[in-house]
Amino acid sequence: MKVHDFISKMYINGQWVNANDGSTFDVLNPSNGDKVGEVANGDRNDAQKAIHAARHAFDRWSCLTAYQRSEYLYKAYQLMMEHREHLARVMTEEQGKPLKASRGEIQYGADFLLWYAEEAKRIYGETIPAPRSDQRFIVLRQPVGVVAAITPWNYPMSMITRKVAPALAAGCTVVLKPSEATPLCAVEIFKIFEKAGIPAGVVNLVTASDPAPIGETFITNPLVRKITFTGSTEVGKILAKKAAEQVKHVSLELGGHAPFIVFDDADPVYAAKGAVLIKFLNTGQACISPNRIFVHRSIVDPFIKEFKNRVSGMRAGSGFENGVSIGPLVNSAALEKVERQVADALDKGATLVCGGHRLMDNNLDKGYFYAPTVLNDVTPEMLIYRQETFGPVAPIIAFDTQEEVLEMANDTIYGLAAYVYTPNLSRAMRMFEGLRFGIIGINDINPTAAAAPFGGMKESGLGREGGREGIAEYLETKLGGFSV
């Protein structure tokens, strides 16, 4: 199918516009390499125009009542749900994930619009008792100003609403640069914002094949008061360092290296089912994807048996085909990274349970497909033990004691998500408290929702998205001291 057969423009100050120099870049389907469409190839000048439009719109938008801003977000939610099938098809064609998964992401993305339509009305101030009888303290929470948002390709629509919805609810205006791999998804979301009647300049979209000049403009322009970024830890560190020069607010949702821990009192079949579902979600291209699966030595054999049976039944292919659960990796670099990690593990003594190769049959050679892979006997000396894979490879490590596995799980620079399977409440609580990760799933592979805070510790990021914490990231605290 062909969702797009025209050149998509950027959205700046309420208008769909071409790039400053008129250039475009192609968007390709990672499943087959086909051209999906063309998108305006923005540059620094386009980013500057968008920032100025956002600053000009800020005064009016921030002075609207919370109820007025809520109405816009609720309208956007309704439109997103009305157009969910079209949006899902655009996502599957451009990003490659199975259509069922795309539909799920649309719902998840719309949830943020609905949640923050309500949360806009929950921005509370407070009064503080003063030490003097003739003094009063009042605290206000006010929007930080213009927000520059940078979103990834792996969840190309929900990551937009997860950032834009709380920013708008708080009274901020936004300039967004989506991933160069999935700009059409962003274009479709901004069409929703336009149809919702969000005033000109409040939301702006700059697409570009080279993200560096846009990011540099976001960082150096003093009109931008906050950077929110989802992507690699390496880029996040660069943004945080440069943002510090102007003391900009920064929110970073970065890499993960999630442990998945299965204790000896867990049902190995049930645990394997959960591990497979979350490990191969989005073909392993999720920051909360398990990257190290720790299984108690006494149940590792039945666990691997069930895990292999489920993985062997997975089918790779176009996301539009029925029964497909494994989509393509995003590009050749991602495929090479997976191949390199698997080869390194096998060279250093890991056991290949299944998979372990690029998929080439049935026209899959035209895309970036890698077989769902299971490795046993993984050790700390292997790259896959230390580095985030972002692909369909499940490394399994046996352990003996609770103390041992807690130490191994925490032995990483990352701290985003972790999973624990055990029916023992005391053990579950101790692991919840002891794991140094921002999100812990206890017998639960989906510990996320629009109403819940999402974010990591250590080098997995700063700040939280979702929940009441998510809107706080876009607010300043102002104290008024009154002499009466």
Active site members: 253, 287
The DSSP code sequence of 76-92 is: HHHHHHHTHHHHHHHHH
Phi, psi torsion values for 324, nearest 5 degrees: -80, 130
Say how far apart CA 46 and CA 70 lie, in whole Å: 29
190 near 174, Cβ under 8 Å?
A: no
> Crossing angle, helix 183-195 and helix 66-82, to 10 degrees?
120
**Across the strands, what pairs with 19?**
none
Q: Pick left, alpha or beta for residue 338 (phi over 0 → left; psi -120 to 50 → alpha; otherwise beta).
A: alpha
Among 443, 393, 433, 437, smallest CA distance to 411 is for 437
384-422: burial string, b at 16+ Cβ within 10 Å, e else: bbbbbbbbbbbbbbbbeebeebbebbeebebbbbbbbbb
Distances (CA, A) of 291 to 197, 276, 396, 429: 42, 12, 9, 22
Element (H, E) at 11: strand 10-12
Say how far apart CA 299 and CA 141 lie, in whole Å: 52
**Across the strands, what pairs with 472?**
none
Phi, psi torsion values for 463, nearest 5 degrees: 85, 180
Question: How many helices (H) does the chain have, and how many strands (E)?
Answer: 15, 21
